[in-house]
Amino acid sequence: MLSVKALRAGYGRSEVIDDLSLRVDAGEAVAVIGPNGAGKTTLLNALMGLNPQATGQMSWRGQPLGRGTAARLRAGMALVPERRELFGGLSVIDNLRLGAYLRRREPASALKADVEFVFGLFPVLQERQSQMAQTLSGGEQQMLAIGRALMARPQLLLLDEPSTGLAPRITLQILQALDGLRASRGLALLLVEQNARLALRFSGRAYVLEMGEVVLDGPSAELSHDARVIDSYLGSGATHA
């Protein structure tokens, strides 16, 4: 579905992503793991049209993908950013509505149905629909950030470290909800995580990113038994994963 070749991205003179290739097929969950500063956020931002310096070949279902975020959203991609970037002073429901901004000409009933869908996925958001986003707990904010991205009706959801700052139980609940959408609706996921164990568990394939380059990639089940991955990312508890 998404195919990326010779991607370069960075800031000013510093090139962060160097000649990277990657693909995500329809309905597939793909993980990107790597240490702090490897370029994971830069990669997702470049894919979403948010890195002005990004160059390379990107195609979507075999057609070249337009530059800029609106083109990526229209194609069917949506990003859940690392810092969540909610509208803190707006209510839960208004944050969700803003996620459907590009679909604003659709009938209100379609948007309402999608809000209901997000509430079905994360019932706590329905309970708190009138509450300001900035007063939500960390887990609720992450659910709202995901819900807002889903309001764009993506076919591929890019997730930048959804586990950050969350209790393991909440992270698991969120990843299970997304895995359910993948299984039931064919939503493809590109999951960036420092928690490699979790990322490999919830993906079929994975890329290991170090200093802006893919140093290893393959089926997640195989990577979780790869000595290099275990040494660098899983530690001695790997055999119990």
Q: Which spans of this chain sit near Mg ion (rule: CB under 5 A)?
A: 40-41, 82
| Token duo for residue 135 | 């007063």
Site string for ligand ATP, 179-218 (x = CB under 6 A): ---------------x------------------------
- Count Cβ atoms within 10 A of the Cβ of residue 40 and give its class: 0-12 exposed, 13-18 middle, 19 or more buried: buried
Q: CB 185 → Mg ion: shortest distance, Å?
A: 27
Measured from the CB atom, the residue of 17 and 92 that comes closer to Mg ion is 17
Site for ligand ATP in 66-95 (CB under 6 A): 82
Measured from the CB atom, the residue of 37 and 186 that comes closer to ligand ATP is 37
Distance of CA 189 to the CA centre of its chain: 6
β-sheet bridge partners, residue 77: 156
Instruction: Tell me: does residue 53 bind ligand ATP (CB under 6 A).
Output: no
Q: CB 176 → ligand ATP: shortest distance, Å?
A: 23
Measured from the CB atom, the residue of 8 and 103 that comes closer to ligand ATP is 8
Which residue has tokens 């195989």?
222
Beta pairing class for 55-60 and 2-11: antiparallel
Site string for ligand ATP, 3-42 (x = CB under 6 A): --------x--x-x-----------------x-xxxxxxx
d(CA 146, CA 123): 13
Q: Tell me the C-alpha to C-alpha distance, in Å, between residue 3 and each of 59, 193, 207.
A: 5, 20, 14
